[in-house]
Amino acid sequence: MKAISTIIAVIIIVSVSIVMAIAVAYWAMGIGNAFQKFEKVEFTSIYADPPTLDNPGNFTVNIVLKNTGSAAATINNIS
């Protein structure tokens, strides 16, 4: 029985290597896309209302925020 010629063996090894490289590249891009989401909250406007008769001695602070990131943002506390 004759062995596979050297040229055919090289072609098979190169094609398997190319297929494996493409598979690894797609896998790596999938992992990279999973980490691209980020949270970014920007202040749109901030203003304070002076004390009123209903709320003497205290200012009411109004803050308008906008999420410009690619993931949902949660604000737990503002101080």
Separation of alpha carbons 18 and 28, rounded Å? 15
Exposed e or buried b per residue across 58-76, where buried means at least 16 C-beta atoms within 10 angstroms of its C-beta:
eeeeeeeeeeeeeeeeeee
* pLDDT tens-digit readout, 7-36: 888 999 999 999 999 999 888 887 766 667
* Pairwise CA distance, residues 42 & 65, whole Å: 6
Domain boundaries, the chain: 1-36, 38-79
Structural contact between residues 55 and 49, judged by C-beta atoms closer than 8 angstroms: no
Predicted TM-score of the model (pTM): 0.46
**Which pLDDT does position 32 carry in this prediction?**
64
